[in-house]
Every structure is written in C-alpha cells, then in structure tokens.
Amino acid sequence: MNRAMALRHRLDVVVNLREREEQRALELLGEAVRLTAARVDALRAAEVRARRDGRSPGPVEQWMLDEAAHRKALEEVKGCAELLARAREAESVARAKHLEAYKQAEVIRRLAETRKREILEAAEKREAKALDEIASQRHHRKG
C-alpha cells in the first residue's frame, strides 16, 4: 500500500483544500470555545461583585452612592450574561461549520482513497497481464 501513498492525482488538490478548510474551521471553533470560557469567567466575576452588598447604614448620600454601585454591578451581570449568550451562539455556529467542513473533507478523502485504490488495481492488472504475456511468449519460444 506504499504505492497508494505515493500515488498523486487530481483529487489530492481538492483533498488538501478541504483539509485546510477543516483546519480553519477547527481553529475558529477553538477561538469560539475560548471566548465562551472567558465570557463565563467574566459573568461569574460580575455575579460575585453584584452579590457583595456595600450598602450600610449611614448618610443618605453614601447609601445613594452604594445603591448606584450595586445597580451598576447588576447591570454588568446582565451585560455579561448577554455577551455569554452571544458567545455560546457563535460557538454553536462555529461547531456546526466545523462539522460540515469535517464531513466535506471526509467525503473527499474517501473518494480520493477509492480512486487511488482503483488506479492501483488497474495498474496491478496491467502489470499482471504484461507478465502473463511475457511468460506466454517465453513458453512459445521454448516450444
């Protein structure tokens, strides 16, 4: 089967193209997964900040500042949750694109392998036929 590995044909270009597309889709999926993880971390940190209630008895002005800070922390949680939802959606899209690229590459790889096998089988048949003819010619010369 070493000959099959060395055999090159027109489908190899398409295989290489599909494999590059698959690799790029995988890289994009990795970026999307990393972004989603970062958004999860940001949301958790925002939730921790929002849970801290700095409001305490004291002057009204201080309480109003603390209330505004708490409201801002809650808004940050909401914003982080929205960013996380978008990141998860982007990850889902990237995962689907990678799956599609993988399927396309796999189809072409199988097709190329089948074609290589057919070419090798045809070459082996031609070689066997040529060897049979040589053997037949030698047999007739001796006789």
Global pTM?
0.71
* Average pLDDT over every residue of 85-114: 96
Residue 52's SS3 state is coil
> pLDDT tens across 3-57, in order?
544 567 788 889 999 999 999 999 999 999 999 999 999 999 999 988 887 666 7
pLDDT of res. 55: 65
The dihedral through the CA atoms of 134, 138, 139, 143 has a sign that is: positive
Counting every residue, how long is the chain?
A: 143
What is the per-residue pLDDT for 26?
Answer: 96
Q: Which of 107, 54, 46, 98 is nearest to 74 (CA)?
A: 46
**Which tokens in the block code for residue 110?**
């199988």
Predicted pLDDT of residue 25? 97
Looking at residue 1, what is its pLDDT?
Answer: 45
At residue 66 the predicted structure's pLDDT band, cuts being 50, 70 and 90, is confident
Residue 68: its pLDDT value, please? 86
> What is the predicted pLDDT for the residue at 4?
47
Task: Report whether pLDDT(143) > 80.
Answer: no
